[in-house]
Structure 1
Amino acid sequence: MSSPNLSERLQAVRKRRGLTQKDLATQSGVSLSLIRKLEQGEREDTRLETLRRLAKALGVSTSALIVRPDVAEGTSLDWTPVRDALLQRDGVRSDETPSVWGVLEAVEMAEPLFTDNRYRELGALLPTLLRDADALGSAGRRVRSRVLHLAALLMISTRQFDAAEIALRRAQDDAPGRLEEAAIVNTRCWLLMRLGDLSGTLSLAAREADEIEPRLSRATPEELAAWGGLMLRVSTAASRNNEPGESEDALRFAQAAAVILRNEWAPPSDPLRTFGPIAVATRRVENYMIEDRPDRVLALSERIPKAGFRARASSRNRHRLDVAKASAQLKRYTDAFEVLQEIRAISPEWILNQRMARDILGKIVAKRRILTPEMRDMADFIRLEY
């Protein structure tokens, strides 16, 4: 028998709790009309944020209600060449023999394209980079794993989730060491999170963190960053899954590792991800946003330095989106729109792939009788339907 869908799950749990649809709407803050549509099966694409509110009101984990989506909406970019290269089926061959050092230099050149969210440029380079890495054979395992991990990060960022899974599987097969494996697992957790698999994310991140947990007094910076990064993943997944106690415990462990490191640091095993006090602080902001505490989001964000997001612009952008969302919830619509403009100016390709940005702008637009030219331009740019 197939597992029950969202409408059946929601209705069954609500009835077991002795609640009417109106009771659930009152306790969750979700509109009665939306709850009716969910239970009648008219809506299956509900935001994770909405499901978490319903789960909290019903006293269950979000995973008890969630329906894992199929491959989510994609991007207008053509990723076929990258997919073909990942599957080693593009048939393109070169008379030139790549060297390990040459491919390593190429990937080191390509990585800043990802950290700066220049996805089109990176997508154009990746097919060749992947083919060259494959041509290295057994001697190129380390650099090939790094190239495949980079490809996976790009595929997740652009919502090409099936291609990301292929890249991650191959990257892990070639991972040269335990910390490199942990970095790939951390990215796999991000993939599971974006697919809505909160239980899977929690289980995988916690298990991996337990396996590599260092003795803090003797740990190297690389060990601290790898373990602390996984703790942050546990914290966010637990927060989204309506498990605040586990979320706070994981964040406290991550904070302990960050205090020892003192500054943001990108480990050699995971050069595209920094870990340190700022990473912990921005994750706490994200958790506050998940918990519907916009006042705390804005208060804490004021204490986070604007500099320090050295490795990934997306980390800064994600934090700023939380600030924009909190501002919109507190009816500071001008502030929220200014943050969206700031992100667009810095990372236009990144914001195009953020449903959260469209949601925030949609809320701003709904509260305006007349849109400014800048708002119309932003709505057109991020493809807001209004």
Structure 2
Amino acid sequence: MARWSDYTTGERIKILRGREIRQTDLAEMTGLSVVTVQKAEQDRALSLPTLLKIADALRVDTSVILGQQAPRRTMDRADRSVMRALSCAVHDTAAGALPDVEHVPTLEELEEITDRCWGLYWRGHYTEAGTVAAPFVTSAAAAVHASPVGEQARALGALSDAYRVAGYVANLMGNRDLAYAAIGHAQATAERASDDLRAALVKSGRAWVYLRDARLSEALTLAERAAVDIEPRFSTATPEQLTVYGSHINFAAVVASRMNDKDRAADYLSQSHAAGARMGAEHRAHGTLFGPVTATTQAVGVNVSLGQAGKALQLAGSIHDVSQLTPAARNRYAMDKAMAQADAKMWDASLDTLEAALRAAPEWGRHQALPGVIVQKVGKASTARLRRVSELIGASAAGAGGFLPATARTAL
């Protein structure tokens, strides 16, 4: 498989342009002539002004076009535009550079926007969630600025949520620097609001960024600390407290499983099941969902990570209704189940599970790495099934040795 640096600069421009942007479109977007664009893609001429205009139009750094760093996985032009807007909103507001806002939202309006953002995020509509989150950050920052001193807590809580959504979207899209920045601002804002539950959720969010950045021991330490900070008394805990606590314990179990710490993962799963049983049903609070179904589906994923496919499938067999979960949680559970089936050499069943999830949520699926891992693992299924699923994730079905993003496939 060719590396990004193996392509010529012209080939990289063509790949980034993709099928959705024609040469004439790129010329119009940059103010360059079509001939200049054609020469750039043919490696015949690329001046610095031309390079800067093309990079700006394609929403990438010049280093990506020059091959010094690879483009982020699965990011098309719309994704890159969202990342640019999010980055500006997060960094500008954190620096106190507030743009002119025609209408400063009321606290009630901010809470409605908060619910909308989290709803989009948990349905797996990450690009749309990021699109809404950028103006949400600036509007919430404006609301904090407009609130009288001593009466800013609710507005600060909304701003912390806005930063957290921005951080989560950036983390999923592989923009780790922005994810770290947004989570850091979310933490500082939650502390200003004196909101312990929000502060704990932000710590869990930072631990998730650590996890995706392969900082496992730090992720586990932070996840454990966040859970301990808010551990409630089960006899008197509110559903809101149990929701936040259960979510933290679940995540700690995930991190422990990634470190192959079976005893610690089992201990956290036990606490998660206890919290879920205490609640009796799924409950939403502060942009998260937890309950007995969440606890069990998460246990499936944890056991898959620990290499215990049989136990994971046994747990999956006990789950009969996942309708209470968010779409993103249902899809993730389907991925974990498909992975367990692949590990158990149930090739066709694995691809059936995977295909159903990808067809139900194509937007969610294109930001996930696990479907490609499953396709690589499943090498003995029917060719027709493998080809269908490979097409859904933009992968080559020619063997089980690997897959290539669809945007780059035509350039080989």
TM-score where L is the length of structure 1? 0.74
Which residue number corresponds to residue 133 of structure 1?
A: 140
- The change in CA–CA distance for 1:229 and 1:124 in structure 2 (over 3 A counts) is closer
Identical counterparts, % of pairs = 24
Further displaced range: 216-225 or 79-88: 216-225
Q: Distance in 2 between matches of 1:367 and 1:260?
A: 43
Which residue number corresponds to residue 258 of structure 2?
A: 240
Match of 1:330 among 331, 344, 355: 344
The residue type paired with residue 317 of structure 2 is E
Which residue number corresponds to residue 180 of structure 1?
A: 198
The residue type paired with residue 158 of structure 1 is M
Which residue number corresponds to residue 351 of structure 1?
A: 365
Q: Does the 8 Å contact 2:256/2:262 carry over to 1? A: yes
Q: Distance in 2 between matches of 1:155 and 1:354?
A: 13
Q: Does the 8 Å contact 2:171/2:179 carry over to 1? A: yes
Verify: 1:143 aligned to 2:163, yes or no: no
The residue type paired with residue 380 of structure 1 is E
Q: Which has the larger radius of gyration?
A: 2
* Residue segments in structure 2 that go unaligned for 5+ positions in a row: 1-69, 148-154, 396-402, 405-412
Verify: 1:367 aligned to 2:371, yes or no: no
1:312-331 residue pairs with structure 2 within 5 A?
312-331=326-345
Q: Distance in 2 between matches of 1:220 and 1:275?
A: 13
Verify: 1:75 aligned to 2:75, yes or no: yes
Match of 1:84 among 62, 68, 88: 88
Which residue number corresponds to residue 131 of structure 2?
A: 124
Q: Does the 8 Å contact 1:298/1:326 carry over to 2? A: yes
Q: Distance in 2 between matches of 1:108 and 1:326?
A: 33
Verify: 1:306 aligned to 2:321, yes or no: yes
Cα RMSD (Å) of the superposition?
2.4
Q: Distance in 2 between matches of 1:213 and 1:94?
A: 40
Shift of 1:72: 6.8
Q: 1:344-380: per-residue Cα shift (whole Å, max 9, x none)?
A: 122212211221110111233x335x732x6434323
Secondary structure, aligned partner of 1:266: strand
Which residue number corresponds to residue 306 of structure 2?
A: 291
Which residue number corresponds to residue 104 of structure 2?
A: 97
- The change in CA–CA distance for 1:305 and 1:185 in structure 2 (over 3 A counts) is farther
Shift of 1:289: 0.7
Q: Does the 8 Å contact 1:74/1:159 carry over to 2? A: no
* Residue segments in structure 1 that go unaligned for 5+ positions in a row: 1-69
Match of 2:389 among 356, 378, 384: 378
TM-score where L is the length of structure 2? 0.70
Verify: 1:204 aligned to 2:222, yes or no: yes
Shift of 1:322: 1.3
Match of 1:266 among 265, 272, 284: 284
Q: Distance in 2 between matches of 1:123 and 1:230?
A: 24
Shift of 1:285: 1.1
